[in-house]
Structure 1
Amino acid sequence: MLSRVVCQRALAAPCRRLLSTSAGSGTGAGSGTGASSATPYLLAGTGAALGAVALGASGVFGAGRADAKAPEQAAADASLFAAMEKRLSALEVQLAGGKQMALVFIKPHACNPKVIELVRAKLGAAGIRIASEGTIGAEQIDKQMLIDNHYGAIAAKAVKLKPSQLNVPAKGKAEFQKLFGISWDDALAKGLVYNAADALAKIGGDGFELDKRWSNLQRSTDLLKFGGGFYVGKIGDIFVINGFYAAMRAAYTTPPAKLHYFTVQWPTERLSWASFRADVLGATNPADAEKGSVRRDILEGWESLGLASKPNVGENGVHASASPFEALAERMNWTGVPLREDAFGRGLLAAGVPAETIAAWTEDPQVALGGKKGSLFDLLEDRDADDVLAIAPKISAA
């Protein structure tokens, strides 16, 4: 029977050749040659070689004759294995950085066949490939809380967390007592504070009705801002947290509402993320959007496209990811793709960002970089995929 060491040696030789080949053939994403076509094959070959070395090292070939050079050879092969793992990670990062991957969806108010076809055509004309697409109905959005996950902290305060679970800063508590004549703690103790979901159950009606009442509130009179995306307003004799969110949620969760999504991708070197958002999709306010952009075309043709009303800042036709990282979070939420099955997700892992950190980042935490602290989403907004992969490990290590 062949000895374990003999098998390791037989497998190590092709591994060395592959390592040498992959090290010499990898080209930068901006070169336009080699990287995009060769990298997947190198990754596959490297993975196969690593598996082969692992089999040899595991002893599955059985015990054989003693080999005087076994310890030295085992150390050499272990070093080779480590080098292969390092190269595989570098190739994974290179592959992820060379391709921008976003999620685009048509909002419920504009989700009809004409708009779907318009968006599909505009993406194609911009050289953006549609990797997958699908439609998600109101029932699924509601049951799986997809829109709540999408809006993150704003939604969490409105529907997921109870008021007693919220972290209200001392300054906010002082302003609450000054404005409403009762302390925050007393209001909680007396059961006067409700999140938007519970307020609906108490007041009655739907999210749109609550939004009408919320819209009549005035800052410094019966409406107070605790922080970014964190408001409390007095409606009747109760206090409501983020009451505006009820209508936003209802627009997605009230049948027959639905949205149509596209997962899209394009070479990083051909189109920056900032240009994708500004020139292809258009500004958030469709009236300010570039001529020929998706949002501008929907605005100018809204009647012929079959929309019930003229688009505005909130109902602007389409949503698109603000950064490669937000796109990853949105794909995991809306399409259910696991982190390790997403190319950009694998790139982050290969760059050294732990899976638990990536999961925490989807909640848009405050992070530090370059001596400054702020929103992770704001920090990564409009950055290209390769740039995000370069700075993500630094943020993770800070």
Structure 2
Amino acid sequence: MFIDSARIYIKAGDGGNGAVSFHREKYISKGGPDGGDGGKGGDVVFVVDEGLRTLQDFRYRTRYKAENGQNGGGSNCSGKSGEDLIIRVPPGTLVRDEQTGRILADLVKPGQRTVIARGGKGGAGNQHFATPTRQVPNFAKPGEPGQEIWAILELKLLADVGLIGFPNVGKSTILSMVTAARPKIANYHFTTIDPNLGVVNIDAENGFVMADIPGIIEGAHQGVGLGHEFLKHIERTKLLIHVVDISGSEGRDPVQDFEVINDELKKYNPVLYERPQIIAANKMDVTGAEENLEKFRKAVEPLGYKIFPVSAASNTGLKELVYYAAQKVKELPDTILVSDEENEVVYTAVEEEPFKVRKENDVFVVEGSWVMKLVRSTNFDNYESLQYFQRAIRKKGIVDALESMGINEGDTVKMYDLEFEYFR
């Protein structure tokens, strides 16, 4: 079965905790702090493996976690960084953040590597907190948590040319005649459930990959008839060959069919609609095709489309079609779904609000990634560490925010697992 999408959980490794340690040596009773730093957590890295063709493996394993960094030790020994987790995917894999819908990576080239989730930084050991007035720091920082997301993987075929059109117009037959592909062919709608790929060899230097995209029907942009699953596979193609049943053998109007398919493309993705198209007027061997072809030319040629009369069943006109397609493929630029510039935007950390304050019944709740890191890094049993915490929340503006919301002495404040009474 062709598996073209998957949902997986990704967790980078947590950073190791910094160590609280003091130098101990014979004849030196009060050595200075020498707690080492925690190691960095491992990243989750996606790598393109050209030997893979589907996302089948992700059906059976849906959770992936990189190694945590080791904790720091005494004698200024830093913890070992966690190993990166390498996840191999087939060429053409698109990675999205399920929560935001943002594209995190467009993985196309063999060997391409992209960090999808970054490991947490290791915590600083107590050696970093010694000052002339604080010579015995009894606290260190814990490691930061690694990034975690639920990711949606989508496999969009790496084909130069896509065959589009209504079901049962002869796309699979054309593919079988011009390539070595052997798709299942039968006389009923939606014969092709999975996209088929084939290589068209023109000569030693010229050729291209052709994809038989499952039949598009009216309403496909809304998901009708598996529309979304079908349409997404033609997003990478440079050129579309629009196959039309010019004979009207099933009582259909070729001009209307052509307009309906293009309308679906436009509604699904306007960029896809603008992709270059040539038309294969198929089933020219059927009675009535010549008359329909003339009507079709008058309606469509003025729009700038090039039409090739063909008969896939009798292998007529296909040579001219593929030679022209090969020339166009050479002239057209590669289709990139996400540019390097867009990737830079995706991977640049977004400056989020450092904290949010809300009230739950009589409790003032303070939340935010900065707040979580502060709480995790504070040793509330140590006076100096507690003083640092109080200075930090005042400097950040949390105290002002609480007072602006009407907090009074003795009211409860909650910061994740920490609860305390407020006093000025």
TM range (shorter): under 0.3
Tell me which protein shows more helix as a share of its residues.
1
| Higher Rg | 2
TM-score (norm 2): 0.18
TM-score (norm 1): 0.19
Of the two structures, which has the highest relative contact order with CA contacts closer than 8 Å and spacing of 6 or more?
A: 1
